[in-house]
Amino acid sequence: MKHGERTKIRILSAGCELWRKGSEKVIASEIAAHLNLTHPAILYHFPKNLRDAVAEYAVKIADSHVIVQLIAIGHPAVANMSERQKNVHISAVKNPKVPQGS
């Protein structure tokens, strides 16, 4: 994987992490601060639609916490998701697995 691709994944992963704290946090300046990068570095990789790219990445990696928020707002990233798939993510958030040994 090339350096630019790794950086994009780091940005998208950070975007998912921040989205769990609230979608308003998914802006270039917040992600840049979170990753100790510059604001222009984020914009270089995602000049448009950063929030949409993070949403699509969350669906790709099956980040249930973000997906549930996407379902709630009717985001296009979850438009093709079946009701069964949506319910799986909702259940995963409502009933998180108890860690082994607890």
Q: Is 81 helix (H, G, I), strand (E, B) or coil?
A: coil
pLDDT of residue 102: 42
Q: Distance between CA 67 and CA 45 in Å, rounded? A: 23
Token representation of residue 39: 């604001």
Residue written as token pair 């993510």: 89
pLDDT at position 91, please?
93
DSSP character at residue 37: -
Residue 97's pLDDT is what? 75
Residue 98: the pLDDT is: 53
pLDDT of the chain along its 102 residues, tens only? 787 899 999 999 999 999 999 989 999 999 999 999 999 999 999 999 999 999 999 999 999 999 999 999 999 999 999 999 999 999 999 987 755 454
